Structure 1
Amino acid sequence: MGVEIMGFETAQAPAESITEKENSFLHEKGNEKLDKESGPNQPINFGSHEEEGDGIGVVDVNVPKDAADEWPAPKQIHSFYFVRYRPFEDPKLRAELDQADRDIQAKNQARFEIVEQLKAKRSEKLVMADQLSKLKNDNSQYKTILDEKRRQIEPLWQELGQLRSTSGGGRYGLCSSEEELNDLIYSLQYRIQHESISLTEEKQILKDIKQLEGTRTKVIENAKKHAELQDSLVQKEAIEDQVKLMGVDLDGVKKEKQELFEKIKGLKGEINGLQVKLQTATNEKDKVFDKIKKLRSRREEKNACFYQSRTTITEAKKLAVEKDVKALEKFSCREVCWRLTFLLLGTAYVAF
């Protein structure tokens, strides 16, 4: 470490008044001039002002108004010396710091790339999540519409079921139309007339015919209702077609939802892997940064005297600005003696 003794100068302000010697010199000069210009019998008036006297023999001796301004005292220069340390640069330590700087730049670049990949994956995941949310809304809307269509068809199914399940025709049930009823009765009568049947069977057929005739009124009413329901059946078929199409769309929505679920699941796995890489890169960067801090601490320790001497010079300049000569002189003596003492002893300097 280089050490040099440097000087420090401060200028003292000029004196406020002239010295006694200068006063005597001024007096002699004035007397010589007065002796030359005035005779022995003429009165002499002294003064530094320019007032006119009553006598005509007043002599202007051209004495300055402020002698201190005309003949200022020479500036006094005070010199003080301090021990100054030059900064110490260890080539080996400098090389280690440069290598550590390159390492941390590489670690930061690797970490930055991982962060960018994480941002891209998370953005992609958010887009898919929005798409999935829209599909869920579409699925809910489809289900709502399907439920509404089913509610519209349900009364028609109930009416048709009631018409088909209406009993009253015995073992033959209720005919759907009067024409069907007539054909059924005619076929039973034909069996009685042209077929060889037992008496018991004939009685049963006659009983059936009687029951069928009793359902004629109901059959006619049902036929009218069937006619009235015919238009509703057309509407029902149209609704059923819509339900089928919506069912197909709903299946497509479910399939697309499943695909998005799988993609989001895969993205979550990639994001987790990148987070692990990011943590590893962060730990490596922190290790290099800790190494840099230790190297810088070593450099600061080796330059401790340089920083202390710089603080000393700053304090000395402050005292010089304040023109505190005594304090500056005391400070200079103390610092130089202490520093040289510690330097000769080969120990570290401790500021008091």
Structure 2
Amino acid sequence: MRPTAEQVLVQHAGTGADAEVRAAAARARAGGAGLRVEAGARTGSVRNRGPARRQGRRAGKGGAGRKRAGGCRGWAGVQRLGRRPGAERRASVRAVRGCRGAAGLLLGRSLGLAVWDGGWVDVTVVGSGDAFGSGGRFQTCIAVAVDEVPRVLVDCGATSLTALRGQQFDPNEIETIVITHLHGDHFGGLPFLILDGQFRRRTRDLTVVGPPGTRDRLTAAMETLYPGSSQVQRRFEVHVLEHADGQSRELGELRVTPYEVRHASGAPAYAVQLQTPAGSLAYSGDTEWTEALLDAADDVDLFLCEGYSPTPIRWHLDLETLTQHRDRFTCRDLVLTHLSPTALAANLTDWKIAYDGLRLPL
């Protein structure tokens, strides 16, 4: 059960806001809907990290205050945050997210946070497999719902339309697709999703955000699979935008930040961080180890990370290397995905593993 605002007072002793928080807690009794908390609403936002801070974090292997990623949620997450840089504000955010209804609303406002009624971010791993369907899994596709209906996909592999339908998602509801790199198991489903929208009388515009060259590669794929399909007039527009390393892009309530990683795909490859008013996540994409992964996963609620091989392999992440760096991640939760047959057969008891249809509320 989520704590009440009164219980949260324990975490804010000595912050200077005690009287206000106590007054808010005294007034807060009613239950209600979840609340969204804008983590970046105050000076020193975690959304505005400069190169100096990133460089400082990399100075040592672990960096000051880094804690091992794990399944620490809700109230426990607030307690754990108390030992990290900037903990007072981040603990406030997590505490308010953990409160019930009006209690959280009053507590958040008393702490100077931007809080409003709304749902939570709900992440579904629609496809958790590698390029070859190992373990009978669909190719990479992650659905993100900021309200009750998923509007965002991260990657859209060639099998994704089938996977979406099988899990009762309506492809016509998707507004934004974020692509990590231009391999078929990560973007090959786009031609089918676009054509499906054409034949099912889609009217909602679609925004695709991907690496440089996405527009040309998408056009080429559509023309190869269905000649003439890229030039037809539709009831909806397809807007293609391109990543720039480390440059955030605002798409409505969604903020997307790409971090260039190491994976040969004919164009730059990226890990991506997605921030919403209600929660944050990151996805590694395909890559061998790079320090950029620490930036992509920094302070997010959920980090979906490739775990392709048990041992080192070029262009992909392996469990051996991830184990060496695991304590350096500052994400709240780390879940492995995109596993090869050898990784699926390995001892995975120390890891959380994604599967098709896995839902991860933030």
TM-score, normalised via structure 2 length? 0.13
Structure with more of its chain in strand, by fraction: 2
Structure with more of its chain in helix, by fraction: 1
Kindly name which structure, 1 or 2, has the bigger radius of gyration based on alpha carbons. Answer: 1
